[in-house]
Amino acid sequence: MALFMVVLVLVFILALSICTALLRWNELKFSKKGLPPGTMGWPIFGETTEFLKQGPNFMKNQRARYGSFFKSHILGCPTAVSMDPELNRYILMNEAKGLVPGYPQSMLDILGKCNIAAVHGSTHKQMRGALLALISPTMIKQQLLPKIDEFMRNFVSDWDNKIIDIQEKTKQMAFLSSLKQIASVESTSIAREFMPEFFKLVLGTLSLPIDLPGTNYRRGLKARKIILTILKQLIGKRRGCQESHKDMLAYLMSKDDNNRYKLSDAEIIDQIITILYSGYETVSTTSMMAVKYLHDHPSILEELRKEHMAIREKKRPEDPIEWNDLKPMKFTRAVIFETSRLATIVNGVLRKTTEEMELNGFVVPKGWRIYVYTREINYDPFIYPDPLAFNPWRWMDKSLESQSNFLIFGGGTRQCPGKELGIAEISTFLHYFITRYRWEEIGGEKLMKFPRVEAPNGLHIRVSSY
């Protein structure tokens, strides 16, 4: 027994020595003179585990120790983290000066090398132009909003007297609504196979890029392959069909003179995946959290319901929400902004250096990522008085939306191009939900705010007619 204890102690000391040596080696590897202060964690893994588990607390602790600009190693790459508002603005506005998109390798591998978040320069201009043409105000008004209205009206039609998981429903809603806009006729037939694979793809984008069985990264890569097959078959079927379509896919595939942006099949597929991915995360989570916050604040729900009832009273029951109905939804827009701010759907954006550069007096090597961490701006009391209160009225002052610290939808040249489309989708969903139903939560389910806003066990509500 004594010998066993001695061996156990020796093994422990050896393991501790190896761990200490590995940590020391990794710190020395990234100890070049002029680098920002900070810690780098383990080789390969870095501080990813602490970052994903502790989230905002990890960032606050590092800032307390090293200041608002520090180094770390997260999501598989050495990273400089900026929590300085002035520096953040400079980084976001200067893509031409060597600060290009720097999304994690897992995201690039799974979303595709042609997705708009990965490309820059002339390619980004081409892809962004093609995307903006799909979601312009004219397209929303004439083609997309009628599809959104029809979908939302039907999607919530049978919720009366049911207990539903609003998290699961808003996920389905965001995905299926986007799919209908992309491939209107075929959306129903491909949704059953497409949707579960898409959910795996989403989980894989925010993971360490280590291709091992059972990892979210491996599942995401497999899901991408299946999705590629589905979309290739869809494009092939469209090419062999003489029938005309009016949806996003038809526009992307169009070869006529009205389409200035001619894309290859690979670019079309990555564009579709990008549209689904970017809209899914923001629309689903904002919709879920809006339902949560409205439940917790009855006076705000009443104000919102008053706005939508006024719109509904001017229509027959079968009349849809139209483009001209969105503009009077000023309080709805305020609720959406306040939900996005308080829940912090987007924590920050990533850039990558194309050359060694100096920022805030420190040297950032070529190829490093820069994490523009914007989360704390959402809770700055100088910008948002009483920042932890859910107060949509603060957004009725239009100047707040135009101020330089407004980064809810990204910033600089990379502000989300689908901002207005997403607002139209959430507004239409809220319209049919709050004018038809009242609801109550049936359990105090836990909410997580990082790295994604989610309810691990779902968010269940009992719905009844209004």
Distance CA 462, CA 443 (A): 10
Would you call 382 exposed, middle or buried from its count of C-beta atoms within 10 A (0-12, 13-18, 19+)? exposed
Reported residue count of the chain is: 466
One DSSP character per residue, 338-369 reads HHHHHHTS--EEEEEESS-EEETTEEE-TT-E
Distance CA 115, CA 49 (A): 27
Distance CA 424, CA 430 (A): 10
Distance CA 85, CA 404 (A): 9
Give backbone dihedrals phi and psi of 79, rounded to 5 degrees, phi first: -140, 135
Distance CA 179, CA 158 (A): 21
Residue 77 and residue 236 in contact, taking contact as beta carbons nearer than 8 Å: no
Distance CA 48, CA 71 (A): 13
Q: Which residue has the tokens 């609720």?
A: 335
How far are the Cα atoms of 27, 276, 291, 335 from residue 380, in angstroms, in the given order? 33, 32, 24, 19
Residue 201 and residue 175 in contact, taking contact as beta carbons nearer than 8 Å: no
Distance CA 222, CA 363 (A): 39
Nearest to 80 by CA among 310, 309, 371: 371
One DSSP character per residue, 261-302 reads ----HHHHHHHHHHHHHHHHHHHHHHHHHHHHHHHH-HHHHH
Give me the residues paired with residue 454 across strands.
448
- Binding positions for heme are 416
Distance CA 191, CA 200 (A): 14
- Binding positions are 416
Structure tokens, 21? 């040596």
Give me the residues paired with residue 77 across strands.
74
Quick check: helix, strand or coil at residue 321? coil
Give the pairing type, strands 162-165 and 460-465: antiparallel
